[in-house]
Amino acid sequence: MALRIRLARFGAKKRPYYRIVVTNSESPRDGKFLEIVGSYDPRQDPAGIMVKDELLALWMSRGATPTDTVASLLKRRGAPPAAAAAD
């Protein structure tokens, strides 16, 4: 079972809001997930990115890898040391 840190879409039509979740790589985008580690709101100016750094570091130490999109979001907000090591 490969763990991924990726975005799950929430919100209304044309008003997206995303949660950053840890999930099995085979799960659907908005399907079952293990834990919420943050959120991303692209409608704010600048875009709102909130991440629980201790949870992110815990899951990355357990082998979860971020998707390209999540990695770019983490880099944009200033990634913690655990996320920077994954690059």
pLDDT digits (tens, 9 = 90+) for 39-84: 999 999 888 999 999 999 999 999 999 999 999 999 988 866 555 4
Residue type for position 8 = A
Going by pLDDT thresholds of 50, 70 and 90, the confidence category of residue 17 is very high
- Rg (the chain; Cα; Å): 12
Give the pLDDT of residue 32. Answer: 86
Going by pLDDT thresholds of 50, 70 and 90, the confidence category of residue 28 is confident
Question: What is the pTM for the complete model shown?
Answer: 0.83
CA dihedral of residues 66, 72, 76, 81 (deg, nearest 10):
40
Give the pLDDT of residue 84. Answer: 47
CATH fold label, 3-80: S16 Ribosomal Protein; Chain: A; (3.30.1320)
